[in-house]
Amino acid sequence: MYAVRGKCGFVKKSKAERCGKVSRVQFLRHSASRHEVVAKQPDHDLRKGRRIVDLKTLATNMWCDNCNDSLSLRHLQSEESRGLASIFTVRCHRCLALAQVISDKPTRSPKSGRLVFSVNCKAAFACIDTGVAHDQLNKFLSAVNVPPIPRNTMKVAEGIVSPAIIQTAHNSCQEAIEEERELTLKALRSEGELSALPEERAVDNPAFNTSNASDSPTEQISEEWAVDDPAFNSSFASDCPTEEISEEWVVDDPFNSSHASDCRTEQAEVNQDKPDDVVPITCKYDFGWNKRGNGHAYDSHSGHGSAIGNYTNKVVAYDAMSKYCALCARGHSAQDHECAINYGGSSKGMEPFTAVKILLKNEQFSQGRVRLGTLVGDADSSTMAALSRESAFPIRKFLDLNHGLKAFSRALWVLKKSTFKWLTAEAIKNLTSRCLGYALAQNRGDVEATRRAIMNIPEHVYGNHTSCGDWCKAKDNPNYVFKDFPSKQPLRDPAFKATLIKMLQDMADNAEQLAPGGSTQQNESFNHMVATRAPKSRHYCGTNSNYLRVSATVSYKNLGAEHSEAVFKSANLSPTVNAFRVSVQRRREWKARYQSRLDDKRRRLHLKTKNLWAEADAARKDGPSYESGMSGVMERAVASSDCSSDWLPPPCDISPDCAVVYVDIETTGFLATDQIVQVAAKCGDRQFSVFMMPTVSFHAIASAKTGFKVFRGELMYREEVLTTTPPLNAAEQFITFLAECGPQVLLVGHNIIRFDAPRIVQWLEDLSCLKDFCEVVCGFTDTKPLIKQGKVGGQEELAKTYLVGPEWEVHRQGAHNASSDVILLEGLVRHFKVGVNTLKTSAVSSREFFMNRAMLKRRRFLLPQLAELKGKVSDLMIGRMAAHGVTISDLQREFDKNGVPGLTIFLGMHINGKPRVTASKKIVNAIAEHISGKENLPPL
C-alpha cells in the first residue's frame, strides 16, 4: 500500500487516482456546459435597444478621415459588442468608405493584453462595490434593453480593477495607521486628557527598542516601557528617578481615568527627538463569517477579520480567509491558477488565525512604527490566547460591553427555561439593560467602582438598598414599585439570588476589562457593510471575489463614498463627472451626525418601544399563531370548536339599505320550552300581529303579568276573546311580512338575543320554516344595552319614565301585548336618539347567532363530562370548555403529547378574535395539575 502527498496531507494512491479521475470528469462537464451557454446566446438586432456610450469619445470618432465629413449612425453597417461598449462599423454617406467607431475609451489588460473598454471596468467595480452579482447585473441590463456583458469580458475587466481595489484598500489602511499613530502621540502629549488604560509592563524587546538599547545604561529605564499602573510596576516605578522616566514612551490611551490623576507627576512627555520609536496602539478587533450559523453548525468556507483604530475609527488592518477554491474543486492544479485557499483549519479557528496575521505579522504596522498595545474585543479567549502566545510583548484586553451584556442575558434566558421559570422577559431586560448596563455606564473608567456596582445588583433587586447611590429611587421609598419584576415587588427567591451572585462575581472579577467601556460597534458596522457587498446568501469565496469585496468595503469605510475615485485613478480610468458620490458622502456624514444626537436617540428608543407595544397588543389579539411544532394542536383546537355539524346560515354582511323591523313575542311562561302565543312586528308604517293557541297551559305568574289565558278552549286577553291562527300559517304570514319589508331585514328587540330570538328560531325550526326565515333576516340587535339608563333597563319602566303624553298612554296600558310593545320600543329608540347606523353596528349576524346557539347546545351535552374539574377551575371556565367542545380526553391527549405548552395552545387558540377558552397561565396550570395528577408543577 503506497501513499502519496495530497493537498491536505498523505492519502492512499488509489484514492488519489480516483479523486483525480472525478476532478477531470467534472472539469470536462463544466467546460462543455460553458461552451453550450456561449453558443446559445442570441445575437441582438442592430439599431434596436439602448447602448451606453461616452459622448465625447463617440463624438470624436464620428468623423470620416477620407472625406473629412461627419458620420451618421443611420448608415450603421455592423456592430461588435464588447460588453457594455461597442465597435460600430459606419459607412460614410459621401465617400462610401467604412469607418470603425468606438463607443468608449479602450484600455488593455496588463495580464493578457486584451482590449477592454473603461465602461466594462467600471461596471466590474460597480458590481463589487454594490454587492451585485454578474447575473443580477445582466438582469438589470436586459430590463432596460441594454446588451448584457459576457462572463469572460467581466472577468477580464475584474482583472484590471482588482489590483486597484486592493491597492486602494492597503493605502487607506496605511494612512489610517499613520493617523492613528499621530492621534495616539497627541493623546500622550496632552496633559489635560485623562488616561483610560493602565500602563504597560516593562518590555525588553529588541525588535521594538533597538534604537535606545545601545544608548542607555542597563541600570536605567531607557530600555523599558514606562509603567503608569501600580498593579504592574509600583515598586519598580518608585525606585526610578523622574528624570530617567521622562525620556521614555508612556502609554496613555483615553479609555480610563483611574490612574492619570495619581500618576501624572511620574508620567513623561513623549520625546520628539525619537520619531522612529514604535507606538503601541489600541485596536478593536472582530471577525465575521460569510455564512450564517444556525446555532448547531458553524462551517462557513470563508470569513473576514478587521482591526479598527481606537481614535480614527478606521480600518488599520484586515484580511479575508477562505478554505475553498472553485477551480481546485473542478480538478485544476493549484499551480495553474491563483488559488483562493489561504487557510486550512476549522471555520471557528479563522478568528484567532486572522488576528495573529493582521495584528502581529502585519508589515504595514512595522512600516507605520506601531504595534498592538491593547485589544478591544468580545470574550473570545482563543483569540487573546493566540495573540499572547505569538506576541513578544504584553497585550492588554478590554471586553466589549455589548457582548458582555448579551452573554449575561443569554445566561438568564437559559436559567428561565431550565430552573427559574418565574423569570419574565421584562425582569431579564431589567437585570441586563438597566441594572448591569447602568452599573457599567455610570462607573466607566473606575475599576473599583465598577466592581462594587456589579456586586450591589443582587442586593438592589432583592430590596436591600443600603449600598445604593442617589440614583436608586427605592432607597428612600419603601413602597417603590418594581414594575418589571413579578408581582411588582423585589425578588425573593434565595436560590436565584445565589445563582445571580455567582454570575455577577465572574463579571466583577473582569472589572478591569469591563470598566474602560470598550466597544466593537465599529467592527459590527464594518461586517454589515461587507454583508451588503458579499451577501451571506451568495457564495463568493471560490475565487478572489470575496477578498475584493472586503477590500472595497475597507476603502469605503476609510475614504468614504468617494473611494471610487481613488480606485479609478489607480486603474488609470477616467474620473466620475457627476457629483452623486459627493452627495452620498454628504448624506452619510449628515446621517452620522444626526443619529448621534440625543434627541434622535430618544426618538428611536420611543419608536422602538412604541412598535414593541403595538406588536404585543396585536399578538395578544391574534392569540397563538406561530408556535414551533404546535400546528397539530392548533388544527385540533379549531376542529373541536367547529360547529359545522349543525346547520348554519351562509355568511351575510348587513347592507346599508337593510330594513329595521321591531319585533316582540308573548309566551306561556318564562322557560325555553314554553310556547309562543303572539308575534308582533313593526317596520315604519307597516305592522304585523298574529295570535296562536298554545298546547300547554299558562304559567300562573306569566298569565297574571301578561293578561293572556285560555278559557273554555278560547285564547283570551284581559277577558277578550282573540282570533287565533294555526302555527304554520302564522309562521308563513310572519316570513311574508318580513320579506315585504325589504330584501334584507334586521330584527330589533328588547332583550331579543336572550329571549325573543331563541324562541322564534325554535318555533320556526319545529315548523321547517327556518331556512326561509334566514334568507330574509341578516341579524339581531338587542336594544337593552343601547337604551339602558343606569340600573333601569326594563322596557316597561323606561316607557313609564320617558314616554309621557296621551299618545303613549294607551300603549303603556297595553304593556305585555306584543303589538303595543313594539310601538313603545320604537318610541324609546327615537327618544334616546339611537340611529340606524348604531343599530346595524351593534347587530349580531344570523350566522354568529346560530353558532352561539349550537355552542350552547353542545355545552349542555358536555357539561356533565367536565364535572371532575369542579374545584380546580371556575364554573365559567368549565362552561366555556364545554361550549367549545373540550373534553377530558382532549385535555389528556394534548398534555401527554406536548405538556403544558400544548394545553396553553389548545385552550388559548383564538376563535373569532377571542381566546377559545382562556389564555390565563394560572388556569392552564391548574388544569395541568389535575390532568397529570401532580399537585406542584413548576409555574409557566
In a domain? residue 355: yes
Do residues 343 and 364 lie in contact, with contact meaning Cβ atoms separated by under 8 Å?
no
Give the pLDDT mean for 861-867. Answer: 86
E strands within 231-301? 279-289
- pLDDT tens-digit series, residues 324-379: 998 888 888 888 888 889 888 888 889 999 999 999 999 999 999 999 999 998 87
Do residues 667 and 702 lie in contact, with contact meaning Cβ atoms separated by under 8 Å?
yes
Which cell numbers in the block locate residue 135? 447575473
Return the pLDDT at 419: 87
Q: What percent of the chain has pLDDT over 70?
A: 82
Residue 447 and residue 477 in one domain: yes
Last residue of a domain, one of 360, 384, 399: 399
Return the pLDDT at 22: 63
Report how many domains make up the chain.
Answer: 6
In a domain? residue 602: no
Residue 288 and residue 386 in one domain: yes
- Cα separation, 663 vs 181, in Å, equals 91
Last residue of a domain, one of 358, 384, 399: 399
Residue 735 and residue 781 in one domain: yes
Beta bridge partners of 90: 76, 99
Lookup result for grid cell 469585496:
549
Task: Annotate 838-876 with three-state secondary structure.
Answer: HHHHCCEEHHHHHHHHHHHHHHHHHHHHHHHHECCECHH
| Local confidence band at 828 (pLDDT 50, 70, 90 cut-offs) | very high
Do residues 167 and 138 lie in contact, with contact meaning Cβ atoms separated by under 8 Å?
no
Q: What angle do CA 21, 22, 26 make, to 5 degrees?
A: 120
Return the pLDDT at 244: 35
**Residue 19: which domain range?**
3-40
Residue 332 and residue 186 in one domain: yes
Nearest to 826 by CA among 685, 646, 673: 685
State yes or no: pLDDT of 196 exceeds 50: no
| Local confidence band at 169 (pLDDT 50, 70, 90 cut-offs) | very high
* Beta pairing class for 659-667 and 63-64: unpaired
Sorted by sequence, the CB contacts under 8 Å of residue 364 that are 6+ apart come out as 170, 173, 174, 177, 316, 317
Residue 800 and residue 690 in one domain: yes
Return the pLDDT at 304: 93
In a domain? residue 48: no
Return the pLDDT at 107: 83
Q: Which residue has the higher pLDDT, 68 or 113?
A: 68
Return the pLDDT at 553: 94
Sorted by sequence, the CB contacts under 8 Å of residue 876 that are 6+ apart come out as none
Residue 368 and residue 482 in one domain: no
| Local confidence band at 644 (pLDDT 50, 70, 90 cut-offs) | low
Residue 395 and residue 411 in one domain: no
Residue 359 and residue 453 in one domain: no
Return the pLDDT at 34: 42
Lookup result for grid cell 477531470:
24
For the whole model, what pTM was predicted?
0.64
In a domain? residue 244: no
In a domain? residue 164: no
Lookup result for grid cell 458590481:
127
Do residues 568 and 562 lie in contact, with contact meaning Cβ atoms separated by under 8 Å?
no
Residue 677 and residue 803 in one domain: yes
In a domain? residue 709: yes
Q: Which residue has the higher pLDDT, 41 or 327?
A: 327
- Cα separation, 71 vs 77, in Å, equals 12
Return the pLDDT at 267: 37
Please provide the average confidence, as pLDDT, over all residues in the chain.
81
CATH assignment at residue 675: 3.30.420.10
The residue type found at 711 is: F
| Local confidence band at 200 (pLDDT 50, 70, 90 cut-offs) | very low
Last residue of a domain, one of 842, 875, 907: 842
| Local confidence band at 44 (pLDDT 50, 70, 90 cut-offs) | very low
The residue type found at 920 is: S
**DSSP letter (8 states) at residue 116:** E
- Cα separation, 757 vs 844, in Å, equals 11
Return the pLDDT at 919: 84
- Lowest mean pLDDT across 104-113, 187-196, 217-226, 869-878: 217-226
- Cα separation, 261 vs 268, in Å, equals 13
Sorted by sequence, the CB contacts under 8 Å of residue 594 that are 6+ apart come out as 600
Counted residue by residue, the chain has a size of: 940
Sorted by sequence, the CB contacts under 8 Å of residue 695 that are 6+ apart come out as 675
- pLDDT tens-digit series, residues 286-333: 999 988 766 566 788 899 999 999 999 999 999 999 999 988 888 888
- Cα separation, 19 vs 374, in Å, equals 47
Return the pLDDT at 593: 85
* Beta pairing class for 659-667 and 676-683: antiparallel
Do residues 692 and 816 lie in contact, with contact meaning Cβ atoms separated by under 8 Å?
no
- pLDDT tens-digit series, residues 582-633: 788 888 888 888 888 888 888 888 888 888 888 877 777 666 666 665 666 6
State yes or no: pLDDT of 925 exceeds 70: yes
State yes or no: pLDDT of 47 exceeds 80: no
State yes or no: pLDDT of 208 exceeds 60: no
Residue 759 and residue 829 in one domain: yes
- pLDDT tens-digit series, residues 535-568: 888 888 888 889 999 999 999 999 988 888 899 9
Residue 200 and residue 289 in one domain: yes
Residue 433 and residue 286 in one domain: no
In a domain? residue 243: no
- pLDDT tens-digit series, residues 497-532: 999 999 999 889 988 888 888 888 899 999 999 999
In a domain? residue 160: no
Give the pLDDT mean for 200-229. Answer: 35
CA dihedral 641, 646, 649, 651 (to 10 degrees): 20
